[in-house]
Amino acid sequence: MTLRVALVGGPMYEHLYRALPPDTVEVVVLEDHPTLNRRVAEMLGAGERLDVISTHSKYAPSQAHWLRRLDDLFDAGVVGALAPGAVALCRFDGALLSLPRLIDVRVLWVRTDRVEKVPDTWAELLASDAVFGFPGRESGLFGTFFELVVGSGGRLFDDDLRPTMDTPQAVEAIEVLCRLAARLPQDHPDWHYDEVDAALLDGRLDAAAAWPGGWGAIAASPLIGHLRPFPYLSGPRCRVSYAGAHSWGIPKTCGDLDGAVDLLTRLVGAEMQAADAAGGSICAHEGAQRADRPVGEIDGERLTVTRRMIAEAMITYPPFARFPELEDAGWSALSCALRGLSTPAAAAATIQAVASEVLA
């Protein structure tokens, strides 16, 4: 039976899919993650058969009612070979909802031929005239807001998981985003992750934050001699990077459970994970991670900086079943501020109001 799969698309992820057997795997969805989530919700909500889906540790809780528990479907050695921290991110209410594919954390890439003094903090970046690129929409924009708030000592949620997004730190974070966005091209509010990478490599940016999977395009760029990786920017209180685990899930509409388990066993196994790592990803399989060797000086620096960020600076959202709604409201309010349609204070108040309603 041919397996029907829904996959996250984009240059950071698609290098792995060439290894999928075309005679037994049919890719029925290949989209950026927000679009993928919407298509998967439509299909699973209608009872349509999907055997395997790409998901993420922050999105799987919103899909829990559609996903099979994986705890009893895989041999202990399959899950045991994966980084425990990544596996823990893929649990919700005690159930393993997905198997981690890779760990995402951001590092700073800088055009050293243009930037004389590389900024180490957000304050230093603001004081410079460097043009810094970041996503202008969806999860990347809300994630950058998250980093700025936490780096300043703030929080998005209190100990009881109630939203705390209308604070001085939140307003200041939005002000920082607006000041940085004012230096960017007019189409910035439409940028997703791939557009940020493209703008860095076509010379429109002096610096940008990039995910590990962006390494393939950076390494192949004529600018590779001028780009260097550095730790992501620090706030006044700490250095943090919005992070998480891309992962694989099996929906309850799966028509070939044995085939889906076999495919996921391959996808998180050493061979496929090594192929993922070759494209720049920091894979979840610990053996494949250790086997990843740098190709050249800059790649070595990239791996060192990325592993430091994973060890010291990862922040993740609490698992919420309605997180996609909160994220959509958050980035939409931020986008209004970036476009000059609302003030930072009004944007923070909007995010707080919607979050309070969604999570009530």
Tell whether 328 and 236 lie within a shared domain.
Answer: yes
How many domains does the chain divide into?
A: 2
- For residues 257 and 234, state if they share a domain: no
Same structural domain for residues 130 and 26? no
Whether residues 66 and 209 share a domain: the answer is no
> Which residue(s) pair with 210 in the sheet?
107
Cβ proximity of 37 and 139 under 8 Å = no
What phi-psi label fits residue 35: left (phi over 0), alpha (psi between -120 and 50 degrees) or beta?
A: alpha
Beta bridge partners of 122: none
Same domain as 231, residue 111:
yes
In a domain, 232, yes or no: yes
pLDDT at 287: 87
One domain for residues 206 and 227? yes
At residue 149, φ and ψ (nearest 5 deg) are -65, -50
Identify the pLDDT of residue 360: 81
Cα of first residue to Cα of last residue in the chain, in angstroms, is: 43
- Give the separation between CA 201 and CA 108, rounded to whole angstroms: 14
H-helix or E-strand spanning residue 126: helix 122-127
Among the listed residues 180, 214, 216, 170, the one whose alpha carbon sits nearest the alpha carbon of residue 194: 214
Q: Which pLDDT tens digit goes with each residue over 265-283?
A: 999 999 999 999 988 899 9
Residue holding tokens 């997703």?
192
- Quote the CA–CA distance of 273 and 337 in Å, as a whole number: 40
Q: CATH number of the domain at 158, please.
A: 3.40.190.10
Domain shared by 66 and 10, yes or no: yes
What's this model's pTM, rounded to 2 decimal places?
A: 0.93
Distance CA 61, CA 295 (A): 37
**266 domain-assigned:** yes
Same domain, 208 and 344: yes
In a domain, 315, yes or no: no
- Out of 286, 308, 330, a domain closes at 308
276 and 150 together in one domain: no
Give the pLDDT score at 90: 97
Amino acid identity, residue 72? D
Helices (runs of H) and strands (runs of E) counted in the chain: 14, 14
Residue pLDDT tens, the chain, 360 long: 799 999 999 988 999 999 898 899 999 999 999 899 999 999 999 999 999 999 999 999 999 999 999 999 999 999 999 999 999 999 999 999 999 999 999 999 999 999 999 999 999 999 999 999 999 999 999 999 999 999 999 999 999 999 999 999 999 999 999 999 999 999 999 999 899 999 999 999 999 999 998 998 999 999 999 999 999 999 999 999 999 999 999 999 999 999 999 999 999 999 999 999 988 899 999 988 766 666 788 999 999 999 999 999 999 999 988 899 999 999 999 999 999 999 999 999 999 999 999 888
Same domain membership, residue 122 and residue 230: yes
Range of the domain at 340: 107-242+322-358
Residues 57-86: pLDDT tens digits?
999 999 999 999 999 999 999 999 999 999
Indicate the helix (H) or strand (E) that contains 102: strand 99-104
